[in-house]
Amino acid sequence: MPDTQELFGGVFPDASDDLKVGVMGDKDSIYGFAAVGLTLLPAETGAEGSRILRASADEYAVIFITEKLAAEMEADLLRYADRPTPALIPIPGISGNTGFGMRNVSRSVEKAVGSDILGG
C-alpha cells in the first residue's frame, strides 16, 4: 500500500507517514475493507464510535464511517469538521444508502456557494 505522503501529501502537506486510513461501522459493513489495507474500527453504536474516534483520531488521515453510524455520531463529526485530519467520510453500509452523506455534501456546497445547487 502506498504511504500516507503518496496518498495525501498534496492534500495534507503536514501528514506524516504514520497516519492511517480506517473504516468505522458495524462489522458486516466494514470487514471487506481489510482486504484493501484499511484499518477496521468496528463500532455497533454511536457511543462506541464516539469513544473510538476520540481515542484514535490523531492516528488517522481519513476515517470512512458508515452512514448509519455517522448519523448517530453527528455531533462528533461536527467537532472534527474544521480539523484537516482525520477527514471523516460517510459511506453506505451493508443496509444501503441512507442519504446522510449526500445531505452533508449538499449542506457543504450550500455553505460554500450560497445556494443549494445540488437540489438536495
Residue boundaries of the structural domains of the chain? 15-113
Q: What is the pLDDT of residues 20-62, one digit of tens each?
A: 999 999 999 999 999 999 999 999 999 999 999 999 999 999 9
What confidence score (pLDDT) does residue 109 get? 46
- Written as nine digits, the cell of 52 is 473510538
What confidence score (pLDDT) does residue 96 get? 60
**What's the per-residue H, E or C state across the chain?**
CCCHHHHHCCCCCCCCCCCEEEEEECHHHHHHHHHHCCEEEECCCHHHHHHHHHHHHHHEEEEEEEHHHHHHCHHHHHHHCCCCCCEEEEECECCECCCHHHHHHHHHHHHHHCCCCCCC
CATH architecture of the domain formed by 15-113: 3-Layer(aba) Sandwich (3.40)
| This prediction's pTM | 0.70
